[in-house]
Amino acid sequence: MTNVLVCIKRVPDSSGEVLLTADAQAVDARFVGFTVSAHESCAVELAVRIAAAGGGAATVLALGPAEAVEQLRAALGVGCSAAVLVEADPVGFGPADVAREIAAVVAAHQAAGRTYDLILLGNDAADTGDFQVGIRLAYELGRPVVNGINTVEVADGAAIARGAGADGGVETYRVPLPAVATVLEGGVEPRYPTITGRMKAKKITVEVVEPRPEPAGSGRVLLTLPPAQPSSVEVLGEGTGAVPGVVDLLRTLGVIR
């Protein structure tokens, strides 16, 4: 039996225009809505598959405001069977703080008889882009960690994880459980929730945990938007009429002879 904990984060959807709050401490998401990163959607999918294959359970965790229950419910809707919310304003929490909070939940659950063989996180959060929570969590727990993996399976008490290497090849890791792994998008296709999945998710009580007081913080001073670059585009023409000009340009740039 393999029990999996998967950690997600409620983040503003920044695929469109990005606005900042008046105090320049956060992105103003009032008009764009919230989501989780693509990496984490894949981590949830992997967690659900591993739990199902090994007859275990997948638990989803988020550190965020009360509204993050929305993202937790989405994960419950695709097959996680329990959810934990560490209720806090994430702006005040640096990556080391978040790792400590997750580790505290893992320790509390372990004391109550619920252990996690594998903990999955996204490789990096879509908003803060710190690239370190999973690794810091592994050190907090004294477990091995593999980073930036696309797929992970469990066999004979070990996690077999695969990801892209620096030279474009596929690298395989084999680490004994319990372990931590951070996931990059691309290895699995996240499933959509079914109607029955959603109905089930509504009935599950989300465990709400209070964080410890006085986090160290992230060091954030303020956010700024990069200066808008004035457009200097040279339009070569419309439709196929532009084609001779395009091929001339390709020759000038030296990409064709």
Partner 1 sequence: MILVFVETDGSGATEASLETVTFARDLATRESGDGGGPVHAVVVGALPDGTVDQLGAYGVTEVHHATGEAFSAYGGAVWAAAIQAAHLATAAVAVTATGSPRGNEVLAHFAARLGVAMAANVVGCPTPFAVAQPFAVSRQVFGGAVLEEMRLDDRPAVFSVAGHAVEGAPSTSTTTATLREFTPEVAEADLVARVVSTEPGEPDRSGSLRSARVVVGAGRGAGSADGFDGVVELAGLLDGSLGVSRVVTSLGWRPHHEQVGQTGSRISPELYIPCGISGAIQHWAGCASSKTILAINTDADAPMVTRATYAVIGDMHEVVPAINEEIRRRRG
- The nearest distance, CB 129 to partner 1, in angstroms, is 5
Runs of H (alpha helix) within 55-180: 69-77, 95-111, 133-141
Q: On the CB side of 244, how many CA atoms lie within 13 Å of its CA?
A: 1
14 lines the binding site for partner 1 (CB under 8 A)? yes
Under rule CB under 8 A, which residues in 81-140 are in contact with partner 1? 94-96, 123-124, 126-132, 135-136, 138-139
The yes or no reply on residue 184 touching partner 1 (CB under 8 A) is yes
Provide, rounded to whole angstroms, the least separation between the CB of residue 245 and partner 1.
8
Q: Does 59 bind partner 1 (CB under 8 A)?
A: no
Query: Length of the chain, please?
Result: 257
- 213 φ, ψ to 5°? -70, 160
Stretch that binds partner 1, among 37-45, 50-58, 65-73, 192-200 (CB under 8 A): 37-45
Please choose, out of 10-18, 103-111, 193-201, 205-213, the segment that lies near partner 1 by the rule CB under 8 A.
10-18
Residue nearer to partner 1 on the CB measure, 53 or 243: 243
Annotate each residue in 139-168 with x if it binds partner 1 (CB under 8 A) or - if it does not, as one string. Answer: x--x-xxxxx---------------xxxxx
Q: Any long-range contacts for 34-37 (C-beta under 8 Å, 24+ apart)?
A: 34/10, 34/67, 34/70, 34/71, 35/10, 35/11, 35/71, 35/126, 36/8, 36/9, 36/10, 36/11, 36/71, 36/74, 36/122, 36/126, 37/9, 37/11, 37/122, 37/124, 37/125, 37/126
Contact between 32 and partner 1 by CB under 8 A: the answer reads no
Name the minimum Å distance from CB 163 to partner 1.
9
CB of 49 to partner 1, least distance (A): 17
Contact pick of 66, 108, 176, 212 for partner 1 (by CB under 8 A): 176
91 class by beta-carbon count within 10 Å (0-12 exposed, 13-18 middle, 19+ buried) = middle
Choices 51-59, 65-73, 100-108, 184-192; region in contact with partner 1 by CB under 8 A: 184-192
